[in-house]
Homo-oligomer: A and B are copies of this chain.
Amino acid sequence: MQQRGEETKAHILDSAQRLFSQNGYDATSVAEICEAAGISKGAFYHHYPTKQAAFLELLEHWLSGVDAGLEALREGAANVPQTLMRMTRIFPVIFHAAEQLPIFLEFWRQANRDKVVWKATIAPYRRYQEFFNTLVQQAIDEGSFRATNPQAAAQAILSMATGLLLQGILDPQGADWPQVAQQSIQLLMDGLVKQ
A residues at B contact (CB < 8 Å):
22, 24, 26-27, 102, 105-106, 108-109, 111-113, 118, 121-122, 125-126, 148-149, 152-153, 155-156, 158-164, 166-167, 169-171, 174-175, 180, 183-184, 187-192, 195
Contact = CB atoms under 8 A, between A and B. Distances in A.
Contact of A170 (B122, B155, B180, B195): B122
A19 to B, nearest CB: 13
A112 B153 contact: no
A190 B191 CA distance: 4
22 contacts: A22-B113, A102-B113, A105-B108, A106-B109, A111-B170, A152-B180, A155-B180, A155-B183, A159-B163, A159-B164, A159-B167, A160-B163, A160-B184, A160-B188, A161-B163, A162-B166, A162-B167, A163-B163, A163-B164, A187-B188, A190-B191, A195-B195
Nearest to A165: B163
A74 B183 CA distance: 26
Nearest to A121: B170
A24 to B, nearest CB: 6
